Each structure stands twice: as structure tokens, then as C-alpha cells.
Amino acid sequence: MSHRDVFYGCRLVAVLLICLDAFAGDKHTGPDHAAEHRKHSVELEDVVIVIQSQRNSYHARRSGQRKVEILQQAARLGQISRQPEDRRLGVPVVVLLHELSQYEGDWSILPALPRLFAKYGHSASWLFFIEEETKVTLSALLEVLNRYPAEEEWFLGKRLHDNEASIIHHYAFSEDPSSFSYPDTTAGWALSAPLLKRLTERIRSENLKSDFTIDLKHEIALFIWEEGHGPKLTAVPEFCTEPRDGCATTFTTYLPDCGDPVSKNDVFVAVKTCQKFHSDRVPVVKATWEKDAGFLEYYSDVTDASIPTVSLGVPNTERGHCGKTFAILRRFLSKAVPKANWLLIVDDDTLISLPRLRQLLRCYDPKEAMSLGERYGYGLIQKGYSYTTGGGGMVLSRTAVSRLLSSSCGCYSDDAPDDMVLGRCFTTLGVPITHSPLFHQVESNAHARVLVTARPDDYSEEMISTQRAISFHKHWNVDPVTVYRYWLQDTRPRDEL
């Protein structure tokens, strides 16, 4: 045999060996790909469900019940197993937001993200946020999440958008309001782990602008979008509010049925006014909701027997009204007025449904110190405080008023912003600010001197149409009686108006 024959023979053997090796490798390709698929397939143990809970006892109980329901649903799916390391598989982690830390500002989500990342960011593929009355179908949720590669940045939710430029969103995207979407938090919204990581890094490293937190869902979407550097919201049709086939989530109501409404005499109503508004604003109150009050007084800078008004001896101020509000608090605890469990403080241009408020108050314990209304935040990234905004109505339990007035906390001037001072005081005293999105308010920002007016038309039509609102503020650019009859009066159907 020649050297050439030996050479070509060896070369042929080498080629055959390469082919056999390649063939052997092909036999393992299928299982390897399956393992890779399993690696990226999301199971329940890869999901952290965050219930946007509140510290108030009623809300803590309701969110705790929702957590139990979710875990029981996972158990029914038959996905609980024991491993040698005693690790449970097949169940999601369910977090009550108010238990994540002692910081009340976690409700605004951004301060909570680093804490959530530290605890779950290295083990979870998704964070899924829901409200305490949001119902979740876990099997459908998994189907949704598995449509999106968890190793990429995703922001998922039910899409809401402004039909017109809205003052509560600071006229953002005024040229095309519908171009920017934000999540309907009642339907649930999700962040993938890579997006959670990047948001956490931003919060930790950047000097974030942090003044007022007003509309959380819109501000979260803006922060995530990061002026085009981050993802926009991806609309998920299975994230629902109204029940229908194929939904992964549904939502019941913000106005729960806790039994018969509290008595009219359980709520003392304090209306703040001043002489220049006696002739135009007070008549609207009398024509709409005054008749539903058991105890009501108008507090002004002058005594006017035709209304009548009570002068508290506090001069009128153009803004803030802290001196007047604290005088109201002292009068509420005095023998000058009938004793009631609850104090409602409103402006003379607040429109409110007292029957709906009394229905909501049945859910709460008046012996618990609480401040109820629409919750805003100030400086929450920098350990600031929350407060109940004034124009939409501030509801205080008698216990909260007593605790406040027995402390040294108070106004630094008569024209200080009363709602913000109350919020700062309650934060210091450990009284949680309890939020209800059924209160709708104007924010008169005493620091920035900006007036933010929230009319019904300023809210997403889809969101506001599903609510039984309790209040709206301001008579600006609306017919207040028509707004009251359409949105707040229950005696006539809307289609008859």
C-alpha cells in the first residue's frame, strides 16, 4: 500500500469519526433544547404576586384574605411538592405590600422596588402587582406570562390612556394624549425581572425627582418609560376588570358591602367657606348634598345667619387654611357640637355623595385612628410622608382627632397647607393614611403654587365609568349641579339625565 493510500485512508476514517460524533451530538440536541425550554418556562414558583395592601385593619384583613385565596388556588392546582431541602414548589410568593417594611411610602411602589429586588430579584422571573379586590386565575396568568420571554424587559398591563390632555397628568403628551398608556391597576400589572433590576439600579444611583405623588399608575408608567429609554406598557387583553371568557384577572368594586351604612348622625360634616363664596358656592351645596347630612356646619371668616355660618375667629387665608382646619378639629371634640364617630372636612366647592360615604365607613372601625380619602405623597423617595388631600374630602375618626390634638404637632402658620400638615403629623404619630380612589380632588400645591383641578372628564373614561365615586372637587369649568346629579346622585339612572 502506498503512502498516498494510507493518507487517504486515514483521512476517510477521520471524516467518519467526525460524522459519527456529529450524529451522536444530534441525538442530544432535542433533550438539550427541552432543558433550555424548561429553563425559560415560567412556573408559579417563578412569580411574586404583590398585593397593594394597606395598614388599616380592614384593608389588611381583606388583602390577607386575598393572599389565602391565591395560595388555596395554587394548592387546588395540585402543584405543591416537597423537596429534600424542604422547599415548596408550585406556589407563587405572595407579598402584602404594607408588610414589606415599616415605611408607609411603599404604597408609591418606587421606594418598594429595591426591597422587592433584594428579596426576590434573583429567584423570581416576574413581579405581578394587584389590588386587594383583584381576583386572579393562576393558570391563565401563567399562560400570559409564558408568552413573553422573561429574560427581556417587559411592562405588562391593561391599557388606559387619556382621551384629552389631563391636568392631573400635568398635560403630558398634550399633542397626542392617546399615544401614552398606563396600567389599570385594578386589572393587575407585571414587571419582568430584568426590568425590575434596571429600575432598582436607577432608584439607587440616580438623583430622582421626588416631590408629589398624585396619580400613581400614570407616574409609574412615566418612570418605566424613562422618556423613551425604557419600555412602554404592553397591553394584555387577559388582564380584565369586567369578567369575560379567557380573563386572568377580574375586579369587583371599590365600594364594598360591609353591611348597613353608618347612621347620618355618625358623621359630622364641616364645610370650609369664606364670605366671598357665600353667594355662589354655598347655594350649590344646599341644592345638592346638604340634605343628606345629619350634622353639618359651615365655617367662615364671618357669621352669616342666612346660611348659617360659624366664625372660628381665624382670619381667612388665600391658601392653606391650616389654622381654620385645626380650629374645626378642636370644635369637633368640644361640647359645642353633637358627638359623632367620624369627622368629614370638605371645601365649599366639594361635591360629595354622603350615602356612599356612609356605606364605605361601615367597613372601618371608628375606634381605630385613621385618616381616609384620596392619598397623595410628598417626597416619598426621600422618606417623606403621605396625606389625605383636602378638596376631595378628609375623613377622620374621632380617635385620630383626639390623638392629634393631644400631641404637639400643629400648624406652622395659619395659611400652611392643612392637608399636608395633617399628613405630616399623622405620619409622626404612626397613624396610616388610608386610601380610597373613590375620592377625587384638587391639589392646591402650596409649595409650587400650582393648581391641579380634577374634574370627572380629567380621568380615564374607562376607569371612572366603573366607579361609584364618592366625591369630586371644584366648580371650575363645569356645571356642578349637573356633575353631582350625573356622577354622585343615586336616585335617578344616568340614562335619564
Across 306-312, average pLDDT: 96
Does residue 429 have a pLDDT over 60?
yes
In this structure, what C-alpha cell is assigned to residue 474? 371644584
- In the CATH hierarchy, which fold is given to the domain comprising 264-496? Spore Coat Polysaccharide Biosynthesis Protein SpsA; Chain A (3.90.550)
> What was the pLDDT predicted at 13?
39
Fold agreement between 44-251 and 264-496 = yes
State pLDDT tens for residues 123-160: 999 999 999 999 999 999 999 999 999 999 999 999 99
Residue 155, H or E segment: strand 155-157
Q: What is the per-residue pLDDT across 256-270, written as a single tens digit (0 to 9) for each?
A: 899 999 999 999 999
C-alpha to C-alpha distance for 452 and 445, rounded to whole angstroms: 8
**Facing residues of 130 across strands?**
51
For the domain covering 44-251, report its CATH number. 3.90.550
**In 3D, which of 310, 307, 272, 264 has the Cα closest to residue 286?**
307
Average per-residue pLDDT for the chain: 85
The predicted pLDDT at position 423 comes to 98
Backbone angles phi, psi at 183, to 5 degrees: -85, 145
The structure's pTM equals 0.84
Domain positions in the chain are 44-251, 264-496
Model confidence band, residue 81 (pLDDT cutoffs 50, 70, 90) = very low
pLDDT of 223-252, one tens digit each?
999 999 999 999 999 999 999 999 999 998
Helix residue ranges per DSSP H, 268-405: 282-287, 322-333, 354-361, 398-405
